[in-house]
Each structure stands twice: as C-alpha cells, then as structure tokens.
Amino acid sequence: MRDPSSDWIIHDGEYCQAGVPILKAGNRGLRYGDGLFETLLVQNGRIRLSDSHFDRLFAGLRLLKFEIPPSFTRGALYNQVIQLCETNGGSALSRVRLTVFRADGTLFDARDHLPHYVIESAALDEHEVLFNEQGLRIGIYPDGRKARDPLANLKSGNFLPYVLAAIHAREHLWDDCLVLNDHRRIADSCIANVFYTRGTTVYTPPLTEGCVAGIMRRHLIDRLPGWGFSVREQLVTPEDLRNAEGIFLTNALKTIRWVGEFQGKILQPGLARELHAMIHQELDLK
C-alpha cells in the first residue's frame, strides 16, 4: 500500500517513491542523452494543449528510431499523468515532466529500441503561472552554438548548451539566457522560445534556426493573425533584439513572460501582457 504522504513517480507504468534509484549505469539515456522529454501543465485534472505535446513527442520518437509498442499510447500516458498528479495532491495545478529514453546498451548495441519512461509531478501555486509583473533580466551565452538541423528542434536529453547557458545566466544574475546558433543568430533561451515586437508585428526565429519546436510558440503563431497581429518567422540577431520595442519568452508552463532588461536596454511589457491575457482566457481549463 502506497504511503499518501510521499511523493511518487511512475516508471514504465509502475509507481515508485521519488528518490529511489531506477536506472542502471548502462542506461543509454544516462550515457548518451538518448531520449526526449515533455514539460506539461496539468490544470483541474486535464493536460493543457495535450494533443500538441503528444504529437511532438511521438514525432520525435519516430525521428530517433524508437520502436513504439501497441501499449505505448498517448491515451495511456495521459491517464498516468493525471493519476500521478492526483496521487501527489496536485490535480488542480501541477508541473509534470515526462521523460522517454532507450534502456541499456552501448552506442552500437542497444538492448532494444523500445521507449522506457518516467513521469514526475510537482504541485504549483497559482501565482507561478500568472503574468510576471517583474520583467526578466536576460543576456546571451557567448560560447556554445546550436546546430540548425532537425534534431535541434527536439526537446532531447542532449541538453548541454542549455545547461551551460543556465550556469552563465546565474553567474550574471540573469533570469534566463539566450543561445546562439552556428551563425551567431538567436536560436532560443534555456527554457523558452524568443519573440520580439515592433508595433503590432511579432517576430520569432523559424525552426530552421535551431530552436526547440515549442508548444506555446506554435500555438501563439497560429493564433496571432486571428487576434489582429502580424507574425513573422525570420532570422533574429542580437541587434534586432537591441532595437526591439518589446521582448518576451514563451513556453508551455509559463505561456508568456516579458523581458524587462536585455544587455542593459530597459523594456516595457508592451504586447506581452495583452497576449498573456488572451492566451489564458482561451486555454485555462475550468
């Protein structure tokens, strides 16, 4: 019988106490970053934008040549996510990480190509998804470069550029840090996609620039024309951001967060506040 006072995770469909080791030293996810992950928001017993998340996950698994068994379905994963949030007391509002990886094996000799997975959940307070009244301070990580290939668009276990960018951000007392691609143009940030504004036009790098194919990025691009805004996916340089009227970051958990300072330039919320309100009016699950 499970201890209700403990936090739990799900590993390959089975409940385990959080903190109990579940991987062996030979695990390919541990050795090579051989896997993907999704960060989900659960609100009132439902996953926000679940179809988009599972579309991205399964497309990524196909790209990485996983063999998907009949039992590994989006319906089964959805139900386990919701059940875990209920078990951990966070069905009203929770952050969930779903990590999928290959099991044991060497680089040329995987034991198999089946997906193994871990689901983790953590309850959130409502203020954690509200609009950030304090603008973010961000800068640029100058050393790493992201490739501009299809793998760059995945939320993969190979996360080193973002790990180092996050360390760089903390060293400079920033809230986030932008990552450049191999042409020294903007790809994305440690945990978000990047947008900037001029008037009623919103700009963001295309996927060919090496950014992660963010769920909120795609949702916003699809919605902006219907809300009366122009949207352009185009190359973005640091100079473009220095000349922007506004900058904001997007991800599935926080939706939109506005940037208050970039490389010494002070910015105002601008369109970010309006777009945040429109997104939450549409997506908040009652």
Specify the pLDDT at position 5: 46
Both structure tokens of 211: 């950014």
Cβ-in-10-Å burial (0-12, 13-18, 19+) of 264 comes to exposed
Instruction: Tell me the C-alpha distance between 140 and 93, whole Å.
Output: 32
Question: For the chain, where are the alpha helices, taking DSSP H only?
Answer: 28-32, 50-63, 74-87, 160-171, 215-223, 238-242, 271-283
Instruction: Name residues whose C-beta falls within 8 Å of residue 203's C-beta, 6 or more positions apart in sequence.
Output: 195, 196, 197, 231, 232, 233, 234, 236, 240, 244
Nearest one of 202, 189, 211, 160 to 262, comparing CA atoms: 189
Instruction: Name residues whose C-beta falls within 8 Å of residue 234's C-beta, 6 or more positions apart in sequence.
Output: 203, 205, 206
- Per DSSP, 135 falls in state P
Specify the pLDDT at position 285: 72
Per-residue confidence in pLDDT tens, the chain, 286 aa: 344 446 999 999 999 999 888 988 999 999 999 999 999 999 999 999 999 999 999 999 999 999 999 999 999 999 999 999 999 999 899 999 999 999 999 999 988 999 999 999 999 999 999 999 999 999 999 998 999 999 999 999 999 999 999 999 999 999 999 999 999 999 999 999 999 999 999 999 999 999 999 999 999 999 999 999 999 999 999 999 999 999 999 999 999 999 999 999 999 999 999 999 999 999 987 6
Residues forming a β-bridge with 141: 179
Q: Which domains are seen in the chain, by residue range?
A: 8-129 (3.30.470.10), 136-283 (3.20.10.10)
DSSP, collapsed to helix, strand or coil, labels residue 99 as strand
Q: Measure CA of the first residue to CA of the last residue in the chain; give whole Å.
A: 32
Both structure tokens of 202: 């919103």
Q: What is the pLDDT of residues 198-242, one digit of tens each?
A: 999 999 999 999 999 999 999 999 999 999 999 999 999 999 999
Specify the pLDDT at position 202: 97
Nearest one of 84, 167, 49 to 159, comparing CA atoms: 167
Specify the pLDDT at position 1: 37
Specify the pLDDT at position 19: 87
Question: For 180-232, where are the alpha helices, taking DSSP H only?
Answer: 215-223
Strands 109-110 and 93-101: unpaired
For the question of whether the overall pTM of this predicted structure is more than 0.85, the answer is yes
